[in-house]
Amino acid sequence: MALADIFTRPAAPAASGRTVAVAPTFGGRPTVEGEGMAALYTWVEEIAALTQPARIHWVDGSRAENDALLREQVDEGKLIKLNPEWRPGSYLARSHPSDVARTEGRTFIASEREEDAGPTNNWADPAEIRGTLRGLFEGSMRGRTMYVVPFSMGAVGGPLSHIGVQVTDSAYAVTSIGIMTHVGTAVLAQIAAGADWVKTVHSVGAPLAPGEADAAWPCNDEKYIVHFPDTLEVWSFGSGYGGNAILAKKCFALRIASVIGRNEGWLAEHMLLIRVIDPAGRAYHVAAAFPSACGKTNLAMLRPTIPGWRVETLGDDISWLRPGEDGRLWAINPEAGFFGVAPGTGESTNVTAVETLWGNTIFTNVALRPDGDVWWEGLTDEAPPHLTDWEGNPWTPDMGRPAAHPNSRFTVSAAQCPQIAPDWNAPQGVPLDVILFGGRRATNVPLVVEATDWTHGVFMGSNISSERTAAAEGLVGELRRDPFAMLPFCGYNMADYFGHWLKIGQQLRFDRAPRIFQVNWFRKGADGRFLWPGFGDNSRVIDWIIRRVDGEVGAVDSPIGRLPEASDLDLDGIDVPQADLDELFAVDPISWEREADLTEEFYATFGGRVPAPLQSELSALRYRLKQAQTA
């Protein structure tokens, strides 16, 4: 079949400051007039020649197109339509048991120089890995449709936005990208007008022979997710799941965007974004970086327990931060949806998330109720007596295994969130007042500590960690480092990334830069009990932080930073004994010396590449700890 004969025509792009039109088609192949389109057409033709699809469909992002793709997946047995009475417009996908999460071990940074990837990334020689990928992708889409998906991260044409194009042979990926990004012909107008764009290529790696029946979840045992930071490309093979297939998410919005940010002078961060509004109606903007299982989504959808305070959600996972001409740091959420972990999301932990999922949601690997609705561990206090589990098998609570996969997901539009900010998608973003870093630490790290300045805050961020195992007798447990919550997502050497954060700080006015704090909701007492109630009561920590930013409360100097006076915390309505408060803010110099040793060991893995100001911060910490022991 001739290449021109397998194209289907897209809708005409909307004009954006210039005339952009769909020219007459030849053999079904669309030709869009406007500079920049020639490179896109050439690239699509090259990918089609390599992967050999049966047909090509240019995605226009329309509701009709999306509905048709969803119906097609239901007809093919790839999606289960949920009961519209309970969950209108919603679907359940069940992945292959071997394809249930990001494949970090098969994720590579193919920079020209290995040292530019750094010790925290898997490096691949770009020429060598391109040869491997070419062999894998050759003919990988036979018998399938190749979809061409133009998408924007952030509002189309926004000053902080960037665009890309994904080609994929997965309709599941297309419908998911349609939720998570801004998809459609308006993006083609940007390309036609000469905008730069990121190339992303995805195949499930399961070609179909003529007459061969398709799998409900096609995938391949061999998997690669390869990033080319020097040419701003992503190639993903073999997986249909999550961030392995929705390449706009972690692959583009963090790994590739972190490289673009380094080159252009901004930051792509694994951060939630919220607006906190005090009882007087004053608004403050907070970005927060937490590793997984540290309460990130709960904070993004926080419902304060302090009367008069409220939170508007701007984003739950990724923020792009850019210095403004006014000396402040401005932030957008580049995503259009939430791709959240279902287990643990329930009425008692995150009622906002549950209310967001009322309909128009794609669920993956959760359990199915007999009435056609879905369920997962944590959604309700008690499990239903009978379910169909995530693999399609009968399930009852006495079986001793979860009904939903621990990494089961929901994909839903951010616009459905009942507390989404009215301007959550504003192109210019919002000015940041506060940046939070947090990990899951049972020991040592106080409930909240303020950095003394930007450099000290970067030092804090570079040392975010969680304990792998429970600690005993106040000693530091084995730590899993996750600097800035970016360990799996930084597209270049993390030591250089630390340096980039320092450079960003130099572009901000000292009196307008966001203040940096470290928080830890998870400190435990000697009896293993959590000392802080968490969840909605975390607003009490936010309250102190905001009052600190406004200069309404003071702080106590400690060797590791500034701590609140316990009397400055608003604890009305909750019972936190004084002994627990004392332990929540205790700083043991001897244990912190061990922390400093671990930091030095971690820095050493970068072979002397860690910026000198952070080494100086480490030396200063050691000095203050010695002084504290002799005081």
Q: Which two tokens stand for residue 130?
A: 């391109």
Q: Which H helix or E strand runs over 131?
A: helix 126-137
CA distance 76 to 95: 14
Looking at residue 312, its amino acid is E
List, in order, residues 6 or more apart from 506 with CB less than 8 Å away.
none
List, in order, residues 6 or more apart from 567 with CB less than 8 Å away.
none
β-pair partners for 481: 465
CA distance 251 to 24: 35
Cβ contact 183:264 at 8 Å: no
Q: Which 3 state secondary structure label does DSSP give 59? A: coil
Find the Cα–Cα–Cα–Cα dihedral 589, 591, 594, 599, rounded to 10°.
-80
Q: Which of 219, 251, 294, 490 is catalytic?
A: 294
Helical H segments across 282-329, by residue range: 296-300
How many Cβ atoms from other residues are within 10 Å of residue 322's Cβ?
A: 21
| Residue 219 annotated in active site | no
Rg (CA), the chain: 25
Specify the pairing of strand 465-467 against strand 479-481: antiparallel
**DSSP character at residue 619:** H
Measured distance between the N- and C-terminal CA atoms of the chain, rounded to whole angstroms? 82
- Which residues participate in catalysis according to the annotation? 294
